Amino acid sequence: MGRPVHVGPSGAGQLCKLANQTIVAVTIAAVAEATLLAEKGGADPAALRAALKGGFADSVILQQHGERMSEGNFVPGGPSKFQVKDLDNTLGEAESLGLQLPAAQAVRDRFAYFIDEMGGGDLDHAGLYLELKKRNNLT
């Protein structure tokens, strides 16, 4: 989970946890879009990940979840249902601070659709890729 770092007054650690979950969720959405774009354009998704490795776009999410997406492996490591819970907490905290987080809101709504309409709550959160494929009428 990381290393101990003092991030501020009481409650700041919880905000950092929400920030982490927000970054994970939004990055999963970005990786899903980039993976689908590459695949539909004829690129090999494994080669895409190799090409981006070490650059600014590289991340654990790109490498691990990008691989899950292109292989269709959605065995849960992090179930999708928890992403909605985490993003609801993030958005609630943001609202209490007078903030709008449009990317987090859009990704939250996509996860909610994936869970509620596609039955993806117990699939890995990389399964957001399936919601994207459905959105684009791809099977």
- CATH number for 60: 1.10.1040.10
pLDDT band for 120, please (50, 70, 90 cuts).
Answer: very high
Count of the separate structural domains present in the chain: 1
Does residue 2 form part of some domain?
no
Query: Which amino acid, one-letter code, is at 34?
Result: A
Tokens 């981006």 belong to residue: 52
- Do residues 126 and 75 lie in contact, with contact meaning Cβ atoms separated by under 8 Å? no
Q: Is the predicted pLDDT of residue 128 greater than 80, yes or no?
A: yes
Q: Global pTM?
A: 0.93
Residue 100 lies in a domain: yes
Q: pLDDT tens, 41-86?
A: 999 999 999 999 999 999 999 999 999 999 999 999 889 999 999 9
- Residue 1: per-residue pLDDT: 57
In a domain, 8, yes or no: no
Where residue 139 falls among pLDDT bands split at 50, 70, 90?
A: confident
pLDDT at position 108 over 80: yes
Question: From CA 41, how far away is CA 35, in angstroms rounded?
Answer: 10
CA distance 25 to 136: 20
Q: Residue 122 is part of which domain span? A: 14-135
pLDDT in tens, 8-46: 998 888 999 999 999 999 999 999 999 999 999 999 999
Q: Please compute the mean of the pLDDT values over residues 102-118 and round it to a whole number.
A: 98
Task: Give me the pLDDT at residue 11, please.
Answer: 85
Three-state SS at 135 = helix
Does residue 4 form part of some domain? no
Task: For residue 126, tell me if it sits in a domain.
Answer: yes
- Asked if residue 1 belongs to a domain, the reply is no
Q: Which residues, 6 or more positions from 45, have their beta carbon under 8 angstroms from its beta carbon?
A: 35, 38, 39, 66, 67, 69, 70
Question: Catalytic residue at 17?
Answer: yes
Residue 76 domain flag? yes
Catalytic residue (choose from 17, 40, 53, 81): 17
* Residue 37 CB-half CA count within 13 A: 8
Instruction: With both helix axes pointing from N to C terminus, report the angle between 12-40 and 45-52 in degrees, rounded to the nearest 10.
Output: 130
Read off the pLDDT of each residue in 111-123 and give the average, rounded to a whole number: 97
Using alpha carbons only, give the angle 22, 28, 31 rounded to the nearest 5 degrees: 140
Does 97 fall in a domain? yes
